[in-house]
Amino acid sequence: MKKGGRNHARMVTTETLNASAGTHRPRLMRGYCGLDSETSAYLEQVMVELSFSARGHDRILKVARISADLEGVESIQMQHLLEAV
């Protein structure tokens, strides 16, 4: 991994997400783990059907973000969310 590349920026972002607490965390999660409308609707459906908590929601997004990073894509896609769930 190059220190100055996208992976380094993502590692710093992950550290920020892990270290932040309170009201800042949801805003950071939305900023770094953005979803398109279809993927967002699916996540909402999963949250309701499986009765996941807000913490579960954040963890799913984190795992999906990691999956997208491993594939080298900028945004979380449906396949990443399916893997995370």
Report pLDDT digits (tens) over 19-36: 544 544 666 666 677 788
Closest by CA to 35, choosing from 13, 6, 68, is 68
Give me the pLDDT at residue 58, please.
87
- pLDDT tens, residue by residue, 57-71: 888 998 999 899 899
Hey, what's the torsion of the CAs at 12, 15, 34, 7, to 10 degrees?
40
Domains defined for the chain, CATH in brackets: 6-84 (1.10.8)
